[in-house]
Amino acid sequence: MLKKRSAVMMTLSVLAALPAYATDNAADGADKFTLDLGLRTFYMNRDFDQGIPDTIAAGQAFRLDLKSPLWNNMIGFDITAVSVVELSDEKTLNSSDVLTPDGNGYNSLEQAYIKFRPLENLDLRAGRMVLMTPLLNDLTSRISAPSTQAVYATATFDNGSLYALYSDKASMNNDEDYTAYSANGEEYEIVSLGGTYQWDNGFNTHLQYALADDYQKQNYINLNYPATLGDHDLMLDLVHMRGEDDGALYGSDYDSHLTGLTARLSKDNIAYTLAYQNIGGHDGYDQQWGGDDNTQFFTWGAVQLLDFNARDEQSLQARIDYDLPSRPGLHLMARHTESWDIDYSGGDDGQRRETNIDVMYTLQSGAAKGLNMRLRVARADGDAAVVPRINDIRFIIDYKTNLF
């Protein structure tokens, strides 16, 4: 089982580029509507020191995902609506994004777009959608996902794909309203081009470029190579990102780059990962595009609480994943990340660290087959001027069923 899960994780950066519709191809080709109900229960207990208010919040999400057929194999639409009910808001002074900033439930039209297939290998979408590209990534790390208003096109080929997107607005996960990208009183749009290619030997490449005129531009390069080492599977992964200001709207000169090198060794039900990440240039790495954009890193160095993206920061991560043979569906993960050389207001050798433990179990049979339960525990600390001590516990239950 771990081999299947590791295969996904080993190509993490490449899979980030797959368009949101990649999992919907079967539904797109069907001759009828489909409606799925997703349930997610999310509990967070985050404890700070240094006088920062703690957070305890829990919610229950109900997600309806309606997909139309492609009429004449050409045009259709998809809609995803989410309703979150407050279960607990004991402490919400420091917002968790589980509920609204006031500690209430909310409703969100997470996706609503037209899908169009003018050619067999060309797909277009226009509307609000959850994006999964390295430079605009609406990762679901809370009870629902942030989303982006965009026009998105993808062309697929035998060994690769090309994609292009245009976006003028984005929203937080707990807010249905879309807000334009803006800085210093002016609004702007983002355009992006990207592509993936896989060679016959399994070597993967992924490139993306994105530009917000007069604000910021970013580049992303990923090289991923699967191999064997004796009777083990070996994955080598290189990520390089670069960000620069593109004019006066950013508000200052900005130049930063992130480089990550990861090696993962796996066999049967166990995998070992070692990941190094370095931040160079004159600033910490800023992946945000302004406004209510909630783009998140899709790198091995970004973990539960910290992204380890401060100025001059270097970090090293050790991780182990294990599937219990005696209990199918039970996956364990332990990870520790240590960083150093951070430039901050009080010096140039700041340190911080984070330790994570995940326990995940998926029911393999019975009426609730597929129900997934996950416990995530994290502790972050370091120099007081760099990061406060944080203890973070999350418990998540996910279940999805097809209504028709």
Q: What is the DSSP secondary structure assignment for residue 65, as one 8-state letter?
A: E
The confidence score (pLDDT) of residue 311 equals: 96
CA distance 299 to 96: 22
Handedness of CA 89, 95, 100, 102 (dihedral sign): positive
Q: Which tokens sit at 232?
A: 């083990």
Segment 233-258 mean pLDDT: 96
Segment 143-171 mean pLDDT: 95
CA distances from 390 to 13, 356, 379 (A): 28, 12, 6
Q: Is 167 exposed, middle or buried (0-12, 13-18, 19+ CB in 10 A)?
A: buried
The secondary element (H helix, E strand) that includes residue 63 is strand 55-67
Rounded to 5 degrees, what are φ and ψ at 261? -125, 125
The confidence score (pLDDT) of residue 19 equals: 41
Lowest mean pLDDT of 49-58, 107-116, 156-165, name the range: 49-58
The confidence score (pLDDT) of residue 30 equals: 61
Q: 99 pLDDT exceeds 60?
A: yes
The residue among 169, 114, 163 whose CA lies nearest residue 147 is 169
Q: Where would I find the beta strands (DSSP E) of 157-188?
A: 160-171, 179-180, 182-183, 186-187
The residue among 314, 205, 304 whose CA lies nearest residue 258 is 314
Segment 107-125 mean pLDDT: 95
CA distance 322 to 308: 25
The confidence score (pLDDT) of residue 102 equals: 82
Asked if 12 and 303 touch (Cβ cutoff 8 Å), the reply is no
The confidence score (pLDDT) of residue 385 equals: 85
Q: Kindly indicate the confidence band of residue 293, based on its pLDDT and cuts at 50, 70 and 90.
A: confident
Can you name the residues that pair with 359 across neighbouring β-strands? 332, 375
List % helix, strand, coil for the chain (3-state, nearest 5): 5, 60, 35
Q: Kindly indicate the confidence band of residue 292, based on its pLDDT and cuts at 50, 70 and 90.
A: confident
CA distance 265 to 3: 11
The residue among 205, 211, 194 whose CA lies nearest residue 152 is 194
Q: Kindly indicate the confidence band of residue 23, based on its pLDDT and cuts at 50, 70 and 90.
A: very low
The mean of the pLDDT values for the chain is 90
The confidence score (pLDDT) of residue 96 equals: 77
The confidence score (pLDDT) of residue 393 equals: 96
Token pair 């010096």 is found at 347
